[in-house]
Amino acid sequence: MGRAVLSQFLILSNSSPRLSSSLSCGGLQSKYLKRPGFIRPAVNGDNGAGFRCCCSVSLSQPAVPETSSSSVRKRIVSGVQPTGAIHLGNYLGAIKNWINLQDLYDTLFFIVDLHAITLPYDTQELSKATRNTAAIYLACGVDTSKASVFVQSHVRAHVELMWLLSSATPIGWLNRMIQFKEKSRKAGDENVGVALLTYPVLMASDILLYQSDFVPVGEDQKQHLELTRELAERINYLYGGRKWKKLGGRGGAIFKVPEPLIPPAGARVMSLSDGLSKEVVRECQDMNWGTFKTLLTDSLVDHLHPIQARYEEIISDSAYLDGVLEEGAVKAAAIADATLNNVYQAMGFLRRRMK
C-alpha cells in the first residue's frame, strides 16, 4: 500500500516546492533515472550536471490570466540550459508546470545554449545536450501547437539586443549580482570570463525581446528579474516616448516591463495537515532509509516511465526534432526581430535598406 499511496502523493504534489526539494537528495538510483540525456536525481543538492533554470517556473499553480475582448493571451518565456540530464526536482517543478502554462498563456520555451558557455564547458557535448534538452521538453508534454520550442542561439536577436542593452547598463548593477560574486570567488578571476558578469543582461534580452508579460522565476533568479525590469524602464526613459516618435517610431514604451508570475490567492503547498500527506507519513514513518529509498524510487519509475519512452521516440527521430526547433525559431524570430528593429530605431541607428 505504501507504494501506491506515495505514487498518488507524487502525482498530486508535483508542483510543490517542498516536494521537489525533498526529492533532490542523493541516493535515488534506477535504470530510468540515470539514463544519459534524460532525467536524473540531484546529488548532494547539486542541480544535476550544471543545470540552471534561467527562467524557472513558479512551483505553485499560475494565476489564470486576464482575458480581453480581443482574446489576446498574455505571454510567458522560459528556458533551461542544455545539459546531459535534467534532475528530478526540476522536472517535477519547472518543466512539468510548463504544461499548465501553455494552456493559459502564449508561451515560448527555449534551450538557453548561449548561457551555457559562461563557465568552462565541453564543446563536444554542447550540441548533443541541446538536442537532448529539446527532446525532454517534448517528452514531458510541451505541445508545439500551443508553445514555440527553439534554441536560443538560433534567434540572433538575443545577442544583438544584449549588446544594445549593455550600452545602457551601469556596471554597478552587474557588480552587485550575488551569483556573479559567488561564482567568481570560487573560480578565481583568471578563470572567469566577462560573460559571467554580463549574464544577467543576456537574460534581460531573452525576456524583453518577446515583450513578455510575466516571467516565472525561481528563488535564485529574483535579483536578475529585478535587473530586467530596471533595464526595461531605463531604456524606455532614455529612448522611448517622444524621443522615439521624433525618429519616426510609434512613441511610447519600447519594452513591456515584465511582472513575476504570482500564484493565485489561496494557493498552498501540500502540508502535513493534508489528509493524504498524513497517510504517507503514517505509511513511511517506521521505515528505515533503505526501505524508503526503494519505495520512493519504484514510485518515481512508474511515474516517469511513459516520459522516458516518449523521449526515446523523439530523440531517435532527428528530422522531427529538427523540424520542431526550426519552426519554433521562425516563430520566435518574427517576434524578436520586430522588437529589435524598434530598439535600433529608437536608439538612432541607420538601418540597412533592404531591396
Domain boundaries, the chain: 75-267+318-347, 278-314
CB 32 within 8 A of CB 73: no
Residue for cell digits 526547433?
325
- Residue 37: name the closest of 102, 82, 3, 74 by CA: 82
10 falls in which pLDDT band (50, 70, 90)?
Answer: very low
Q: What homologous superfamily does CATH list for 75-267+318-347? A: HUPs (3.40.50.620)
The string of pLDDT tens digits covering residues 204-261 is: 999 999 999 998 876 666 777 899 999 999 999 999 999 999 999 999 999 999 998 8
pLDDT in tens, 95-115: 777 888 899 999 999 999 999
Check if the beta carbon of residue 87 is closer than 8 Å to that of residue 35.
Answer: no
Taking only the tens place, the pLDDT of each residue in 170-205 is: 998 888 877 676 776 666 666 678 888 898 999 999
The packing angle between helices 222-239 and 178-187, to 10°, is 120
**This prediction's pTM:** 0.73
**Is the pLDDT confidence value at 19 over 70?**
no
Asked whether the predicted pLDDT for residue 320 surpasses 80, the reply is yes
